[in-house]
Structure 1
Amino acid sequence: MWSIRERTLKMIMEASRDALPNEFGALLRAEHQIIYEIALVPGSINGPVHVIFRTYTMPLDFSYVGSVHSHPSGNTHPSDADLHMFSNTGPVHIIVGYPYNMNNFSAYTRNGDPLKLNII
């Protein structure tokens, strides 16, 4: 069962609001299936309908468990591009949607299946 710290989710929502009108994106860091931090990827490119992670700029870190990104449209369903990225970057992925409140997010597995994510 995956969980996320409430303060981490609040930070994600704030960063997503700050990125408007562009998407926000980061990697998730966890221990014992508890997401406790986000990690910004150097050189990421954020646009109105995409985030491009330059994964070659990241240090090797086994605490990364997936990704988070925002959808300014408010839709928290993954696109085909999202699903492709999920399959390459870890077991848990979060999409947050405008207006970036604590109720407008969805979590998915690397295969794009919905995932229950507890807020602690």
Structure 2
Amino acid sequence: MVLYRVLFKKKKFERQLSLQKKVLDSILSYCQIKHPEECVLILKGKSKHGNILVDGLVIPPFDYVGHTFAGFPSSFLPFDMSYVGIVHSHPTGPAEPSLTDLQNFFGLVSVTVKSPYNDEDIFAWDSSGNSIKLVII
């Protein structure tokens, strides 16, 4: 039993999301353009020891959006190991993830942006709905 714990014990990392400033600006601009509908984007980057670095975005193919929803069929995405999560907007209401957001979690992190889409209106969450520290680099 001790050997099992040594071999398979996972180290807990405090997650942090690092967004490049140009990526943040692109997210905010896209949300403003799509308002009053929700929007969805895929985050590209890499993760190491709990630090998720986002350096790019992808507009998902065949995305569907409305005033209270945004999504995409993941089966149409090309295989790409650099997908680390998604970002979507909340044109009305709080930035906290809804039950639907958590049920459709994709990747390592989910980012929500609330209106009016300024630098302080962006938040990161894990698959349980817990806040993740967000750093702009």
**What corresponds to 1:111 in structure 2?**
128
Structure 1 residues without counterparts, runs of 5 or longer: none
Residue 24 (str. 1) matches residue 21 (str. 2): no
- What is the root-mean-square deviation in Å for CA atoms of aligned residues? 1.0
* 1:42 maps to which of 61, 64, 67: 61
Shift of 1:93: 1.1
Deviation digits for residues 54-100 of structure 1, max 9, x if unmatched? Answer: 111100111001110000015211111001112xx111110001000
Is the 2:123–2:131 Cα contact (8 Å) retained in structure 1? yes
Aligned residue-pair number: 118
CA distance in 2: counterparts of 1:44 and 1:81, whole angstroms: 16
Per the normalisation by structure 2, the TM-score is 0.82
**Kept after mapping to 1: 8 A contact 2:17/2:124:** no
2 CA distance for matches of 1:115 and 1:51? 22
Does residue 95 in structure 1 map to residue 112 in structure 2? yes
Equivalent position of 1:51 in the other structure: 70
After TM superposition, the score normalised by the length of structure 1 is 0.93
SS of residue matched to 1:106? strand
Segments of 4+ in structure 1 off by > 3 A? Answer: none
Output the amino acid matched with 1:113: N
Specify every segment of 5 or more residues in structure 2 that has no aligned partner in the other structure, as ranges. Answer: 1-15
SS at match of 2:79: coil
Cα separation, 1, equivalents of 2:35 and 2:121: 16
